[in-house]
Structure 1
């Protein structure tokens, strides 16, 4: 058994030897990362440089795309290094930095999706008062509320985990995970589990309630309103609903994998499930919003093809 003074690094045991295929995996992961960066940066630039898109819905979208870049940067460069490395270890301080980055990304994603749901609720359920209810000041408050609390809460969580006495240094994943580190504690983890449940309720349950409430009200308006109202609701809400479902499924996969016995599941499938919610969302969102929202799609076409004859 290791004691806390010896745990200066962690071993990531989910990696396995794939021989020369590691170069193929490196190219695939690098391509995914480049695609994420390019697509999200493109949409951020489009929204920021076009005054016609300086509306609450697009400003919140811009915040979502910035978060996708932030979360991807916390994962992909590390994965690329580990794929080419022969020894899959990570320094303790880098591990907790990655935990902080990835967990804050997840929490910000939940709050941003909740803010966007609230915006759609106001636009569809209160169209005549939308401009007075969704002012620039209120949008700024929503963005700050989506970013600041998650960063503070996750900082407390990571700090609490880093203070634990550890009796091991082996993590059965391809990246650092808070629960995997907590399970290495020499002492009882009941207290930190209770804290984790409370923080999860605050960071996940609260925005989820906002999302469900907003869309229940939107559905009520759709069923009782005109066909024009239903068409507007469908066109503006479809990308966001798809994004929410994609993210929820990914988080559920991660929670089930961390809390269940996955010994009967193949290693490749375990890796895929653990990476799904961190890779699918940054790829999925720019494609979904870019294709489904005509205003963004048309401006992107003008930016990309304006020099062609």
Structure 2
């Protein structure tokens, strides 16, 4: 079987009995997916066409929202197909590809948030050197690294998983997350070690850097004027809200994939949906409503479309 993994099909066993409500589930999730694509793409479009938003902070926001579209597209199309199918199956090769893209894009978010934190730190703490530090090439480098590094890390785990022998063909989930390791006959020590390394390198360290950076920013702003504190809170609070919510969801993903089999199936199904349900919808509303410049351009865009 380990030599023929391309022809091996995995049953996605995390679905509850959906035969009676399959069209309702499909309609709800399709609506959510359309809202995610529409809301995130709209803000990316506004940032793209408005030259006064071609600043590092807004470019990083656009990259973050574009990443949300990729993140959702990794899961939703297959999810919608499964709701309408009699059997919820996926080839092991496709499963590994979904695993690779989901975590590559997922871990990218932490690096983008860290880059945004650095941008805010330079803006608040070193305003006179901002232009010389946050050059266009610097922003490009941050964006390339944010997508390239996670892809390299996760590729190693995906390749190692492709070589592993399978003894279980039923995945305890509704998409291919880190629960794929439960399909292997033997828990691979190299995969485990590299997984811990990737988690530290792509999640823990960027998050600690982001929290440390914003702590310094808030300390400096606390010692400044009320207007400065208000402006700092307006630009930094959305980033922190996104970071906290996303970290909770991704931690949740790691935990839920390892919950024992006696955990109620319906509860597991509902809990797994939370991983990719709220966050892609949460981001555009946070940035669209909290960031004054973006909000103003959105109002102009929708008011002009009514004429």
TM-score range, shorter chain: over 0.9
CA separation of 1:262/1:168 partners in 2, compared to 1, >3 Å: closer, same or farther? closer
**Deviations 1:220-274 (Å, cap 9, x if unpaired)?**
112222222211111111111111111011012112212333634x433322322
TM-score normalised over the length of structure 1:
0.94
Which residue of the partner structure matches residue 235 of structure 1? 234
State the Cα distance separating 1:41 from its structure 2 match: 1.0
Contact 1:262/1:270 (8 A) holds in 2 = no
Structure 2: gaps of 5 or more residues: none
Question: Which secondary structure does the structure 1 equivalent of 2:99 belong to?
Answer: helix
Output the CA distance in 1 between the equivalents of 2:261 and 2:228.
Answer: 46
Question: Which secondary structure does the structure 2 equivalent of 1:10 belong to?
Answer: strand
Contact 1:254/1:273 (8 A) holds in 2 = no
Question: Which secondary structure does the structure 1 equivalent of 2:18 belong to?
Answer: coil
Which residue of the partner structure matches residue 24 of structure 1? 24
CA separation of 1:86/1:181 partners in 2, compared to 1, >3 Å: closer, same or farther? same
Question: Which secondary structure does the structure 2 equivalent of 1:221 belong to?
Answer: helix
Question: Which secondary structure does the structure 1 equivalent of 2:295 belong to?
Answer: helix
**Pair 1:84-2:84 in alignment:** yes
CA separation of 1:172/1:188 partners in 2, compared to 1, >3 Å: closer, same or farther? closer
**Pair 1:275-2:299 in alignment:** no
Which residue of the partner structure matches residue 48 of structure 1? 48
Which residue of the partner structure matches residue 128 of structure 2? 128
Question: Which secondary structure does the structure 2 equivalent of 1:11 belong to?
Answer: strand
Which residue of the partner structure matches residue 162 of structure 2? 162
Question: Which secondary structure does the structure 1 equivalent of 2:11 belong to?
Answer: strand
1:277-296 maps to which residues of 2 (within 5 A)?
Answer: 277-296=275-294
Contact 2:11/2:169 (8 A) holds in 1 = yes
**Deviations 1:68-116 (Å, cap 9, x if unpaired)?**
1111111000000001111111011111111111011111111111111
Which residue of the partner structure matches residue 96 of structure 1? 96
**Deviations 1:130-187 (Å, cap 9, x if unpaired)?**
222211111111111111111111112111111101111110100012x322222223
CA RMSD of the aligned region, Å? 1.6
CA separation of 1:304/1:262 partners in 2, compared to 1, >3 Å: closer, same or farther? farther
Question: Which secondary structure does the structure 2 equivalent of 1:90 belong to?
Answer: strand
Structure 1: gaps of 5 or more residues: none
Which residue of the partner structure matches residue 105 of structure 1? 105
**Pair 1:189-2:188 in alignment:** yes
CA separation of 1:17/1:307 partners in 2, compared to 1, >3 Å: closer, same or farther? closer
Output the CA distance in 2 between the equivalents of 1:206 and 1:38.
Answer: 32
Which residue of the partner structure matches residue 301 of structure 1? 299
Question: Which secondary structure does the structure 2 equivalent of 1:75 belong to?
Answer: helix
CA separation of 1:292/1:12 partners in 2, compared to 1, >3 Å: closer, same or farther? same
TM-score normalised over the length of structure 2:
0.94
Question: Which secondary structure does the structure 1 equivalent of 2:278 belong to?
Answer: helix
Question: Which secondary structure does the structure 2 equivalent of 1:259 belong to?
Answer: coil
Output the CA distance in 2 between the equivalents of 1:4 and 1:71.
Answer: 29
Output the CA distance in 2 between the equivalents of 1:237 and 1:139.
Answer: 18
Contact 2:173/2:257 (8 A) holds in 1 = no
